[in-house]
Structure 1
Amino acid sequence: MARRDPHPGLLMFIGARYVEQRVADAILAAGYDDLTPAMARIAARLGDDGIRVTDLAAQARVTKQSASVLVDQLERASYVARVPDPADARARLVVLAPRGRAVQRVARQVEAEIEREWTDHLGAERMAALQDALVALREVADPYR
């Protein structure tokens, strides 16, 4: 039986791509014109506690060498810093530097704006249902949740 609508995975990708583009446009408009899409995708995976390059590479689904090159570029542009890992003195963690946190604030503002727009379009109940469904899908689709 032929599917009439696009696969749900494709629909989620379209939404994610839309958010990514809106965030990228806002970051560029805010003057961060040295942040490439590849660098931004790596930086977007950084949490408050930092992450090792090997884990960052696995989550981004790139080689350790590619992740290392991108982290080097981010560090040279002052978006991230490498700090000692408190759990292992031989290891280093990649953390957001103040400039990276400033870019993150721009991204979070745009994400909140998009969420409001989508809620206005779908209505609060459907948006809540969408959020619930996507959170539930993480249990089977996101090994890094």
Structure 2
Amino acid sequence: MGESAPGHELPLRLFAAFRAAVDAVHDDLARAGHEHLRPMHGFVFQAIGTRGTTAVELGARLGVSKQAAGKTIAALERQGYVERAPDPHDARRKAVRLTDAGRDVLDRSARTFARVRAQWADTLGPDRLERLEADLADLTPGEIWRLDAPGWFGPER
């Protein structure tokens, strides 16, 4: 390839690859009737998880205020993806849980990400993709499941 690319190109290419994978997921979700979901919602669904959470915990996981988390919860509740219920461990709190529709989104997303990875393996070769994944793991310290991207990208920092 010759001369090195400028330093700013690498993070842009990494983001473009991330964007391509996420766009593929949202194309599939739209075809399945979930056309109003946005990439930020994926972080929300992951942060809620299969066990549920509270608005305060959700805000902390996403790196946003409790109020911002509450607005997101209310919007997803109106769309049928989450529900609020009494917290079984603390009657003063409301738990936020995924509905069947929310779990369907997570399942469909996982299948699409697996398909995208398989396509990348076809393009690069499985060994090269595994080396790329190992190299990225070496370059990215800490927890892979950082869900605070909405807060990191947002105006509050």
TM-score by length of 2: 0.74
Which of residues 11, 15, 32 in structure 1 aligns to 2:17?
15
User: What is the one-letter code of the residue matched to 1:35?
Assistant: L
**What is the rounded CA distance, in whole Å, between the counterparts of 1:133 and 1:84 in structure 2?**
44
Q: Structure 1 137/59 Cα, relative in aligned 2: closer, same or farther at 3 Å?
A: farther
Q: Using the TM superposition, name which of 32-41 and 115-124 deviates more.
A: 32-41
1:75 — aligned with what?
A: 77
Identical-pair percentage: 30
CA distance in 2, matches of 1:134, 1:95: 32
Runs in 1 of length 4+ with deviation above 6 angstroms? Answer: none
Higher relative contact order (CA 8 A, sep 6+): 2
Which residue of structure 2 aligns with residue 4 of structure 1? 5
1:88, CA displacement in angstroms?
A: 3.5
How many residue pairs get matched?
A: 144
Deviations 1:51-75 (CA, angstroms, capped at 9, x unpaired): 2222322333332212111111111
Q: Contact 2:55–2:66 at 8 Å: present in 1 too?
A: yes
How much has 1:44 moved relative to structure 2? Answer: 4.0
* Correspondence for 2:116: 114
Corresponding residue of 1:53: 55
**Using the alignment, how far apart are the partners of 2:87 and 2:128 within structure 1?**
42
What code does the residue aligned with 1:113 have? R
- Give 1:36 shift: 4.2
Quick check: 1:99 aligned with 2:101? Answer: yes
Q: Indicate conservation of the 8 Å contact 1:39/1:73, yes or no.
A: no
Considering only aligned residues, what root-mean-square deviation do their CA atoms show, in Å? 2.8
Which residue in 1 is equivalent to 2:153? none
Seen in structure 2, the aligned counterparts of structure 1 residues 37 and 132 have a Cα distance that, compared at 3 Å, is closer
